[in-house]
Amino acid sequence: MENRPIAALLKGLCAMIIVMASREREDIDYVVARIEALGYQAHLIEGTQRTVVAAVGDERGKFRLQSLESLPHVEKVVPILQPFKLAGREAKEEDTSFKVGGVTIGGGVFTVMAGPCSVESREQILETAKVVHDCGATILRGGAFKPRTSPYAFQGLELEGLNLLDEAREATGVPYVTEVMTPEQVPIVAERADILQIGARNMQNFGLLKAVGRLRKPVFLKRGMMSTINEFLMSAEYVMSEGNKDVILCERGIRTFETETRNTLDISAVPVLKKLSHLPVFVDPSHATGHWDLVIPMAKAAVVAGADGLMIEVHPHPEDAFSDGAQSLKPPHFKQMMEEIAPLVSLMGKTL
């Protein structure tokens, strides 16, 4: 399927990395000002080993950018060859990590997000929040606004759902992630949620990506069911190009000819994404498989593939769930999963 917005973005685009020889704020600000004076967007990327400024703009001005190498506090100016300029490792060699309500994402910490597909009632979300917290999950997931294939299916409790998620966070101290579906919803959900989820169906909703990109709140971006890894990273680029650098990538299965599972979990996407990008990579084995008994094996596979975390659907009574009951773990199975992944997380040099 032709992707005209991305093609338009790449045509005539120039991106350079200005590697700083100095880490003094005055010198960095001077270089940023020079980049912006040349008509480019300047994106500051500060790592533990080096500070770089990514300059993104018109291809025709690249020679003027290269002249910045003559400045005494600039080490070198090099082009970014990948189309994903800010999400790629050319711009930033070190893995990105950040905190969400005291919870570390990336940085050698393995993070588990867990909870129901949909917030259905006060009793359901409070019970689930306590269960997943007690088992070791550090972020609660729950849908207040639900995109569904059928317009007649349960669409979520919306604002009431956000109120219940707020209450669950207050009761457990666990931050929560919930989906946002339209640009108009962004300010409403962003005011409440700790992480904003962009679902697979909205991975190339460019207006929505730009809207969450203008926030300073982490974005959990799911791979589209028929999207290439390149397209996935370009969607992250849309968010980052608006200034929001806290993006989490989530592999959740792609659509293939196979019918035994809901989707096909592309486990190889994890090491590929880790190679190409510095962003944290999570896996959602619940949506990938569609069957609760396949979730634990695929969760373990995600750990050893190098993922930074998991998103797991958990429901106290999945047989009564309004959505995705077949792929939801009951509390005892979630506890089993957490116990079985613990040694694998340690083996991979990470901590739960």
User: Averaged over 279-298, what is the pLDDT?
Assistant: 98
CA 44/CA 301 separation, integer angstroms: 35
What's the predicted TM-score (pTM) here? 0.90
Q: Which CATH class is domain 98-347?
A: alpha beta
pLDDT in tens, 169-178: 999 999 999 9
CATH topology of domain 4-79: Alpha-Beta Plaits (3.30.70)
> What pLDDT band is residue 109 in, cutting at 50, 70 and 90?
very high
- Going from N- to C-terminal start, the domains of the chain cover 4-79, 98-347
Name the residue with higher pLDDT: 24 or 154. Answer: 24
Region 142-163 average pLDDT: 79
For the segment 253-259, the average pLDDT, to the nearest whole number, is 97
Percent of the chain with pLDDT over 70: 94
> What CA–CA distances, in Å, run from 301 to 18, 92, 265, 317, 337?
38, 27, 10, 26, 12
In DSSP terms, which residues pair with 249 in a beta bridge?
221, 281
Q: Are 298 and 289 in contact (CB under 8 A)?
A: yes
**For the segment 156-207, what is each residue's pLDDT rounded down to a tens digit?**
788 999 999 999 999 999 999 999 999 999 999 999 999 999 999 999 999 9
Q: Is 4-79's fold the same as 98-347's?
A: no
CA distance 231 to 216: 23
How far apart (Å, rounded) are the C-alpha atoms in residues 67 and 95? 29
